[in-house]
Amino acid sequence: GTHVGCEHGVCGACTIILNSRAVRSCLMFAVQADGGNVTTVEGLGTPDRLHPIQDAFRDHHGLQCGFCTPGFLMTTLAFLGETPNPEDGQIREALAGNLCRCTGYQGIVEAVRDAAQRMKKAETRKRGNEETR
């Protein structure tokens, strides 16, 4: 689940999505989200199917101890919503506010790059299924 790491907004472990934007939950009061659309890492996949971002992080070893992973996943979700065809420099810049003490960042960058492709494929399949109904 969502973690509180630093309580100062600098580590990114507590990142959630509020109204399609990645925000640090440790810097917010609940009343600030009142009436908003909040998504936490628990809302990404389902018990039966991981989200493409989760699959990509698993396949590219973009996690180790897992403490920072929810924040990276949520940052990635917001980032790919705005930048569906990212370059590596853009990925690194988008993730700059998320800290990981266990892994090197290369696997995480590769995971985000792959997640972008997986999300495009999933969207194409979804559109195809809607057209055949």
Q: What is the pTM of this model?
A: 0.91
Going 62 to 39 to 88 to 50, the CA torsion angle's sign is positive
- Please report where in the chains the tokens 């580590």 appear, as a residue: 11
One-letter amino acid for residue 72 of the chain: F
Q: Where are the domains of the chain?
A: 15-131
Write the DSSP symbol of residue 101: S
Q: Rounded to the nearest 5°, which phi and psi values hold at 79?
A: -60, -50
CATH code of the domain occupying 15-131: 1.10.150.120
As beta bridge partners, residue 16 has: 23
Per-residue pLDDT of the chain (133 residues; tens, 9 = 90+): 788 888 888 899 999 999 999 999 999 999 999 999 999 999 999 999 999 999 999 999 999 999 999 999 999 999 999 999 999 999 999 999 999 998 889 999 999 999 999 999 999 888 888 777 6
